Structure 1
């Protein structure tokens, strides 16, 4: 996307052109999470519950990898723009050092922390056994997903975003194909059960990471790998840029962990429902996140160019598209919650809980659209901390206490309403700063 188009292309067309490839990439990820969960649910509900309990740790692995990739991407883009080849090599080497360090940390988790982590959430020995099988593999072989995400960020740093669709797509297809084969033992393969889902996942990630290495070697000559030495200053700069992204994703891991504990006091079927919801809602929120990822560079460019009207137009169109995406999700969750929960082979108890839960949580979708776009606007204008505070308010300060207090009523259906309460509080916060930070920032820049 060249500078002229950023400044002149109709804002709706510009946003879609920037966002659609990102939406497609994210939907690929959502698809194979759904397929993975579907096949696990065919084993039994305990297996699906175990994978749900493992999800916060998987999310943390991805959050750390994405945040490190964001910091690496920013430093690489800066050094490439300055034609500082020595700094580019230094960033590359230290980024790969961090990939190894993070992977080793999760190997240690796999060895010593998997069992205590699961025991803190469930007393069911079958769920714990399934969870240990699954989580031990995905954490022990976290190197593959760490390397895959870093390779994709390196391609993005030089504008080769379409190549990341290749790595993600092939990794997802391999995972989807191998899931039933390894879980149920088709074509002469051993029947591995829940462990088979984990093996399929890491094989898909492994192939994607190797493909990413090849594509970087073949096309990304600007960031060629050169052996150097660890540089604490470079590592510090990577984390300075990447930590907000790590924090944002990690917040959701914390939220899921504690909500699982709250829901587990009612019934493990409620935990399974929450896991099912989290996978299906990706089809609503990942396109929304793709939209905001496209909005940020477009809005930042026109803000820097002091094009006030275009900034307002971009925000207006982004809010409209965001509302359309979430309204479609709202209708789907209200009209067909039974069909959605049926994707996960639910028990009668899980199906009944799921219908109520999906309808309650879906009421928060339109408010979430406003908040997610607003947080992207803050980032575009150089205040990512506001977005972090908004996420902290929604997920930790309001959602978890509301869920805990509502759980004291003894009514499980009340707990789901905590999502609506959290989004209402966050909307008040985001609306205030849209009025008092964003508009003042735009007007000050245009003087």
Structure 2
């Protein structure tokens, strides 16, 4: 028991100490987690690409819908992390524990409601997205992954609870097991068992379930976390629900917006170049996901560290966490962008190795070279919105994402791709330009937010000094 307490205390000391060190300690394991997650998504795409461009396009149409579930899980994880981190900053163990238990309760409800809605309207949604030519393939894949999405939701929320108290090791173990297992069994289900695209879906659900069991054991059975998960200590509290949802809903809507963006881009691509362009975008975006892993991982670290700083009213550390996160993200992203640009044709071949998809190689390579600029711009926007989430300003974070991904990216993509007639290249450049402008706006607003916090703290100090002077005069 003493050893458990020592480990817990060391994690809490780490995330409440030097913000730069804490971000590194949280971000680099998170990068490994995300690399593993994206790896098995990429490997899935590679195996599915062997079935032909239609199967890859079907995956592309389901991905935005699947991302709605991912978005809700990540949003709930962000809401839980924000409240737990702020509670740790205030040294309020009871609220931190209750927040974790409320997050599990919300996850259980979402695991039933959300898949039911998606399955009920799946065919209609796919047809509206322009997936008529690959409707059967998309339906086969979608039905299975939506039914098994309970495991994904629990993984996302459970790992967020572990990260909120600095426990990155076990979250990494669970995801590593999921990813490696999926990479191994996916080709067996797809080709050996001759299940085709349905086999890829079954492999995804099965591997996610294994990770969910591991996380369930750690936080609800073994009970060696800082947060106490004991049913007798659970007190249903609408204030905690509201506090979690204040960040969860906007953060989930942010991910929903990403899904809307993907649906919109697919629709524009079908309009200007057909379903082959959707296959290119699907394959290319999986590689782009690798390039933005550093920014996403650092965003997660900033969320925890900034949440603790905000809870402790340490605005200096709040500023340090965001600026350091941006610098670290940009540095790593420049290196990845250069590697991607140089080896784009080689990477593209992975998605076009079969006779059914050989024509996609030059198109995917061109896509990757355009999106190298995207890697470098995204850290500014992600680190800034992480600070808003950490401070419980979920609506502000949402507004920044709407500006970046809907108002800017989608509209510029339509302008260049359709109105100016630049085709799929115009669509790709439109996304990149929109993200550059949107990320700049988010960073500038973060600076204004920080200035306002400094002014508020200065006013409080002045007021306290005035009270002291009055007491001393009397």
Q: Secondary structure at the match of 1:364?
A: helix
Determine if contact 2:82/2:307 at 8 Å carries over to the other structure.
no
Q: 1:149 and 1:225, CA in 2 relative to 1: closer, same or farther beyond 3 A?
A: farther
**5 Å matches for 1:214-293?**
214-216=217-219, 217-220=221-224, 222-225=228-231, 235-265=241-271, 266-293=273-300
1:355 maps to what in 2? 365
Match of 1:114 among 111, 116, 122: 122
2:207 maps to 1:204: yes
* Equivalent residue for 1:103, pick from 107, 111, 116: 111
What TM-score, normalized by structure 2, do the two folds share?
0.82
Is the 1:148–1:208 Cα contact (8 Å) retained in structure 2?
yes
Kept in 2, the 8 Å contact 1:6–1:298? The answer is yes
CA gap 1:83/1:430 in 2 versus in 1, 3 angstroms:
closer
TM-aligned CA distance change 1:442 to 1:6, over 3 Å: farther
| 1:389 and 2:399 aligned | yes
Equivalent position SS for 1:61: helix
Q: Deviations over 1:304-333 (max 9, x none)?
A: 667676655544433321211221232133
Separation in structure 1 between the aligned mates of residue 453 and residue 300 of structure 2, nearest angstrom: 20
SS at the partner of 1:350?
helix
Q: Does 1:153 align with 2:163?
A: no
Structure 2 SS opposite 1:168: helix
CA distance in 2, matches of 1:98, 1:431: 32
User: Is structure 2 residue 44 aligned with structure 1 residue 36?
Assistant: yes
- Structure 2 residue aligned with 1:141, among 148, 156, 173? 148
**How far does residue 303 in structure 1 lie from its aligned partner after superposition?**
6.1
Deviation at 1:260, TM superposition (A): 0.6
Report the Cα distance in structure 2 between the residues aligned to 1:302 and 1:235, rounded to whole angstroms: 22
**Contact conserved, 1:12 with 1:317, CA < 8 A, in 2?**
yes
Q: 2:427 aligns with which of 415, 429, 434?
A: 415
Structure 2 SS opposite 1:363: helix
Counterpart pick for 2:415 among 396, 405, 419: 405
Shift of 1:191: 1.2
TM-score, normalised relative to structure 1:
0.87
Q: Which runs of 5+ in 1 are unaligned?
A: none
State how far apart, in whole Å, the 2-side matches of 1:4 and 1:386 are.
30
Higher alpha-carbon deviation: 73-82 or 437-446: 73-82
2:288 and 2:131 map into 1 onto residues whose CA distance is: 28
Q: What is the Cα deviation at residue 51 of structure 1?
A: 0.7
- The alpha carbon displacement at 1:234 in A equals 5.2
Q: Does 1:192 align with 2:192?
A: no
Find the aligned partners of 2:392 and 2:237 in 1 and give their Cα distance: 27
* CA displacement at 1:96 relative to structure 2: 4.1
**CA–CA distance in structure 2, aligned partners of residues 72 and 325 of structure 1:** 28
> CA 1:40/1:247 → structure 2, altered by over 3 Å: closer, same or farther?
same
Q: 1:129 to 1:349 in 2, by over 3 A?
A: same
* Structure 1 partner of 2:174: 167
- 8 Å CA contact retained: 1:97, 1:230: no
CA distance in 1, matches of 2:314, 2:268: 48
Q: Is the 8 A contact 1:40 1:197 kept in 2?
A: yes
